[in-house]
Amino acid sequence: MKIFKTAEALHNEWLKLRKRHISIGFVPTMGALHDGHIALVQEAKLHNPFVITSIFVNPTQFNNAQDFKLYPISVEDDLNHLEDAGCDAVFLPSVDEIYPPDFKAPIYPLGYLETVLEGAYRPGHFQGVCQVVDRLLQIVQPDEMLLGRKDFQQCKVIEKMVELKNYPTRLTLVDTLRETDGLAMSSRNRRLTTDQRQRAPLIYKALLSVKNKLHTKDVNTIIINEIRNLEESGFKVDYLQLANAFNLEPLQQWNGENAVILVAAYLDNIRLIDNIEIEGKPS
């Protein structure tokens, strides 16, 4: 497995691959890898002879400085896991490599997508996400980029940015991997105490409860009850929302369209997010 720290070194390798018409798959990460990340790499290997992963904790997408400071770092372990998974290369850039001194952050016209849910609670977050993914796509120039569905709204934002910039890269979204008790795999799970880890799966249970009751009860009543249950278990809920799966507009009831139930909640200072997608009824 090759390791690149600069765009220049990466481009020298890419020239060889392009001459041989080799397809490149790309998995962007912030490190602290878990089985969900590895599943993305393995999926990329099914479609591309050459797969590269980036590890870069992007400072511009953290609107909470303490959250950025506490983000887990485990580069050596990450590299071992990636090599075991058959990853061909890793891009390990510095902040100056991604954001050189002359870098001017563009403004991405994301519209409604960055005003709701995560956007409402983390102002500027999705502009930072677009900045780093835009830069990585400029540098890596992959044929395919793979993203995990756990960050559903982020996937929609990146789809929008790719469309705005007219990148030829195709996006592949991979299903969320879960622990045996249903908790969505996340790098932040490493920060959970034993007690918090025992309570964390209640987020997924709340999503399942809303999904299972969509046909029988008023959606707002269901959601209010599940928020109350989570808060009684020690969570601080930012949102629990049923939304249209294409544009994330909130739904007051489910009428058979493709939909998604999204949740974000704190356990003390650790913020967890999750979602369940609902397939629309045949028309």
Q: Which residues are catalytic?
A: 37
Buried b (16+ CB within 10 A) or exposed e, 56-85: bbbebbbeeeeeeeebeeeeeebbebbeeb
How many C-beta atoms lie closer than 10 Å to residue 166's C-beta? 6
Buried b (16+ CB within 10 A) or exposed e, 184-209: bbbbbbebbeeebbebbbbbbbbbeb
Identity of residue 3? I
Query: What is the rounded CA–CA span in Å between residue 96 and residue 26?
Result: 21
Beta strands in 103-159 (DSSP E): 144-148
The residue length of the chain stands at: 283
Query: What is the rounded CA–CA span in Å between residue 44 and residue 53?
Result: 10
First to last CA, the chain: 48
Give me the phi and psi of 28, to 5 degrees please.
Answer: -80, 135
Q: Which of 98, 176, 157, 133 is nearest to 26 (CA)?
A: 133
